Homo-oligomer: A and B are copies of this chain.
């Protein structure tokens, strides 16, 4: 798994997910790992980058909005989303953004 994703030429889509975990985050790590594994099997998935300090930031990359919609509706992912809202996340913001330009070094 590469840490910085090699994405195709824009345009494509990103989902920027920033979160604060609850004090009791038992089971979160395993679920997060499983979601990354599952996302890789989704049509249109281009990769994911993740880091956690005081906040966690996960940016996943997708071919188009249709691919994001399908991932959101994935049944196992729906269970994880529900557990995230009810148990793991103190707060989060999710943003869907169209990547127009990119530059790497």
Contact = CB atoms under 8 A, between A and B. Distances in A.
Q: Is the interface of A mostly helix, strand, loop or mixed?
A: strand
A4 B18 contact: yes
Given A16-B16, A18-B49, A97-B98, A3 B104 contact: no
- When all copies of this chain in the complex are counted, the total is 2
Contacts of A95: 7, 10, 14, 99, 101-102
B55 A49 contact: yes
Q: How large is the interface on A (under 10, 10 to 19, 20 to 34, 35 or more residues)?
A: 35 or more
Given A4-B93, A59-B16, A100 B98 contact: yes
A31 B14 CA distance: 27
A92 B4 contact: yes
